[in-house]
Homo-oligomer: A and B are copies of this chain.
Amino acid sequence: MRRPIGIREVAEAAGVSITTVSHALNGKGRLNDETRRRVQIVAKELGYRPNAIARNLAGGRSGLIGLAVAQTLEGQFAVSDFAYYAQLMSAATVEAIDHGYALVLASGAKGGWSTIRLDGLIVVDPIHDDPLSTEFKERGIPVVTTGRVPGQEDGYWVDNDHRAGTRSILDFLSARGAQQIALIASPPVTSYVMDAHEAYEQWCAERGQEAMVAVARHDLTESAGFDATRELLRGRRRPDAVYATLDRLALGVLLAAQSEGLTVPSDLQVAGCTDSDAGKNHHPSLTALALDPEQIGREAVAMIAHLIEGAEPPQPHVSIPTTILPRESTLPQALATPRPVAEASGAGASDAGASDAGASDAGASGADASRAGR
């Protein structure tokens, strides 16, 4: 078992000094382009990977990026979906390692971080006046949020375009015959819920549809969705479709429908935000607005790596497109049924092909800026 290849081995193989190798790989010193390229090639051939520990020691950094999830606000959980966070965290971890960092959990951190120095912080679904992120910003430590901090559009963030995503799923349900779509929302503590709510109201106003909104209990369990649905179904007008801002709430909708003797999707179409195995395996399976949490995690890490290294990231705001995954809880696309509603204002002109292709209806959302800068 030989010692791993370090900068020394690369230097020797390339016939230069270790200084030159370091400069060549980091784009730092004054080097002949030819030399620089040659060193890079040699390093790649040898499979050189710089030792993150040594790099951090020399650079005066800790190499640690905090990941804060599960913020609570007055006992209200801002998060609940395990799969979403597991995917986000998992992808972010791998990406962080590629950048020479390690991702550590900062959830529930109560001052434990005063002693160890985090180089940066990623806050998932921040709430208003999030204490952790403001503290870090004051200490001059870069912060990137996943979802925007409610009430402020600036700062560095990665987010889905939930306004466009919500419109796309409403169009989707409408194209499948829904006349009265209700929204089941979690309490408005994170930006994505506010976005969905806002987009829903606007969409209804444009269509002349009555807005039917039920805000679910803050525990965000299936029971919360269950109860919110019952409340809706007892209103004077019954919805024929429901969009829930959380997968777990949508599963509660399915339970409530079952309990009330309604058949899904013929009596009630149901769609939820966030794809998950639970929704996929349920009977009927749940149509979902997929958010691509892996991509969100990766982008957030890439962005904070830029910030840590003192470079301005390509863009301060990155939007990740959403995708609709049609499943059994919604009806198939009606066959060429011209609908009498006023023509939609440009937005959701999708819905071209068959409805069960799994990844159809894609690209319905914010192509915005996302993948521009390289």
* B53 touching A62, Cβ below 8 Å: yes
* A219 touching B281, Cβ below 8 Å: yes
Separation in Å of the A56 CB from the closest CB of chain B? 5
* A94 touching B82, Cβ below 8 Å: no
Separation in Å of the A289 CB from the closest CB of chain B? 19
Residues of B within 8 A of A62 (CB): 52-53
- Whether A342 sits at the interface, judged by CB under 8 Å, is no
* B222 touching A64, Cβ below 8 Å: no
Number of copies: 2
Convert A98-135 into 0s and 1s, putting 1 for each residue whose CB lies closer than 8 angstroms to a CB of B. 00001111111100100110000000000000000000
Interface residues of A (CB under 8 A from B): 49, 51-54, 56-57, 61-64, 69-70, 75, 77, 79-82, 85-87, 89-90, 93-94, 96-97, 102-109, 112, 115-116, 217-223, 226, 248, 251-252, 254-255, 259, 277-278, 281-282
* B49 touching A277, Cβ below 8 Å: no
**Known A57-B54, A57-B57, A90-B107: A277·B79 in contact at CB below 8 Å:** no
Q: CA of A254 to CA of B226 in the docked complex: distance in angstroms? A: 12
**Known A82-B80, A116-B97, A222-B222: A277·B105 in contact at CB below 8 Å:** no
* A106 touching B82, Cβ below 8 Å: no
Q: CA of A90 to CA of B116 in the docked complex: distance in angstroms? A: 15
* B255 touching A222, Cβ below 8 Å: yes
* A90 touching B63, Cβ below 8 Å: no
* B49 touching A53, Cβ below 8 Å: no
* A64 touching B107, Cβ below 8 Å: no
Residues of B within 8 A of A105 (CB): 89-90, 93, 103, 105
Q: Residue A222 contacts which of B53, B79, B93, B223 (CB distance < 8 angstroms)?
A: B223
Residue of B nearest to A226 (CB): B255
Separation in Å of the A296 CB from the closest CB of chain B? 15
Q: CA of A226 to CA of B282 in the docked complex: distance in angstroms? A: 12
* B223 touching A255, Cβ below 8 Å: yes
Separation in Å of the A108 CB from the closest CB of chain B? 4
Nearest 10 interchain pairs by C-beta: A222-B222, A90-B108, A82-B82, A259-B259, A93-B105, A219-B278, A94-B112, A221-B278, A70-B86, A102-B104
Residue of B nearest to A4 (CB): B117
* B103 touching A282, Cβ below 8 Å: no
* B49 touching A115, Cβ below 8 Å: yes
A-B contacts, 23 of them at CB < 8 A, read A52-B62, A53-B56, A53-B57, A53-B61, A53-B63, A70-B86, A75-B277, A79-B82, A81-B82, A86-B107, A90-B108, A93-B106, A93-B107, A97-B112, A97-B116, A102-B104, A104-B104, A218-B281, A219-B277, A221-B248, A222-B222, A222-B223, A223-B251
